[in-house]
A and B are shown apart, each in its own frame.
Chain A
Amino acid sequence: MKRWPLLAALALSACAPALPATEIVLAVESDLPGKLQGAQVVLEPAADRAGPALFASDCVCVGTQQGCTALPLTLGLGPEAGDSNAFTVVARGYSDSGCTDKIVEQSATVTFATDQRLLLELDLTTACENDFCPSGSTCRDASGQCVDDARPSLPPFDIDAGVPLSPDSPDLGASD
């Protein structure tokens, strides 16, 4: 009889919320839904540490049609054990679903924060269409100027709430 309280305690402890994870959740939005047909996410070393790409996603067909992915595009990023170096996240938009004609690009240089799940939002905006910046910088506004893409601080991300939808996102669940 004495073992049941122990079992109950162990079972309750097993049901406890998961430990906080070290993660950056990338969310890519765009106000070019008509033009944007394809997208790709690439992870590169920070500008001060040249090297090959850390990760490159496949070309993603963007849209609400069959076989494509609706905006926002999302991707979870986690560090290998012990890695805390900065890296650059690049989101590229293409006018075709084969990702050959790049029309817009956004980047941000970020760093993982231990035991924190952070949100990184990149907007492929019309203002930055065909405005490409050199490594370490990104287009920020309609002036076409390139600014440092470092994002020293990111907002926290609630994994239960999910990625917030932008007002321009299509309501796929609407029936009217």
Chain B
Amino acid sequence: MGARRGLLLCCFVVLLGATDPFSPAIAAVDEGGLADAGAPPDRVRDGGASGEHPADAAVVPDAAADAGRASGGTADAATAGDASTSASSAPPRVEEGGLVLISRIEGARLFVDGLPAAVGQPIRLLPGEHYVEARRDGYLAHRIEVRVEAGKVERLEIDPTPIVPVVAPPAPPSRWWIAVEAGCAAVLGATGVTIGVLVARAGAPPLFYEGNVPPGFARVSP
């Protein structure tokens, strides 16, 4: 009975392993801590066991991964927890790259391929294109595409975009305003003409000669 039970258990385990699409991909943690289990080989490692993001595993810094390994020999225990699988069927190793994300905006949250990422700590990523996004309440999300190269850890500074109040440019003068301006110009012109006439007449000779015999000038109706 014990042998038969053990054989059935072995068969069950083998069948289970054969039906799990990720099982063959479960990679052993390499010495440098850059390989991971549970994630498709073309995307970010770590966190694949959660099932929510089979293609976009959560990104954790190396420190967290290292800590996970140190605590129980499982890689990335902080987020994945399934990296303790045997490396007996490990695929050919893929050399990884990394990013160190920096943000000058306090409280900014960073995301790599839609998953939260730590600030200021190295993040292991598979080579290729990745989307990095910075968000913060009251800011516009800033998303950029970066290319990670194998064996390189790039430093990337990304900030959410402050929302700047848009000041509308001054509108061109409307027709009614032009009419008002023209009216004011006409009034000013008339005033200027009146003043000019008064000043000119004050300084100009009189329209009629005024003599020294009172009243000086006389109108005649012959």
Q: Chain A interface (Cβ within 8 Å of chain B)? A: 3, 6-7, 10-11, 13-18, 21, 23, 25-28, 39, 41, 43, 45-46, 49, 54-55, 57-58, 60, 69-70, 73-80, 83-87, 112, 117, 157, 159-160, 163
Contact = CB atoms under 8 A, between A and B. Distances in A.
A46 B211 contact: no
Given A54-B220, A57-B213, A78 B193 contact: no
Instruction: Give the most central of B193, B200, B213: most A CB within 10 Å.
Output: B213
Contacts of B217: 75-78
Contacts of A79: 219-222
Contacts of A28: 213
Interface of B: 185, 188-189, 192-193, 196-197, 199-201, 204-214, 216-222
Contact of B196 (A11, A21, A117): A11
B220 A157 contact: no
The secondary-structure label for the interface of chain A is mixed
A76 B214 contact: no
A19 B125 CA distance: 97
B212 A69 contact: yes
B220 A78 contact: yes
Contacts of A76: 208-211, 216-218
Contacts of B211: 25-27, 73-76, 163
Nearest to B213: A75
A57 B217 CA distance: 10
Contacts of A73: 211-213
Nearest to B217: A76
A117 B209 contact: yes
A10 B192 contact: yes
Contacts of A112: 220
Nearest to B205: A159
Given A3-B189, A7-B189, A75 B208 contact: no
Contacts of A70: 212
B222 A46 contact: yes
A49 B221 CA distance: 13
A121 B149 CA distance: 117
Given A14-B196, A76-B211, A45 B222 contact: yes
22 contacts: A6-B185, A7-B192, A13-B193, A14-B193, A14-B196, A18-B204, A21-B207, A55-B218, A55-B220, A57-B213, A57-B218, A73-B213, A75-B213, A76-B211, A76-B218, A80-B219, A80-B220, A85-B222, A86-B222, A87-B220, A117-B209, A160-B205
A23 to B, nearest CB: 5
A10 B200 contact: no
B103 to A, nearest CB: 51
Contacts of A163: 211
A74 B192 contact: no
A14 B191 CA distance: 12
Shortest beta-carbon contacts, A-B, top 3: A74-B211, A14-B196, A85-B222
A41 B222 contact: no
A28 B213 CA distance: 10
Contact of A18 (B185, B193, B205, B216): B205
Nearest to A55: B218
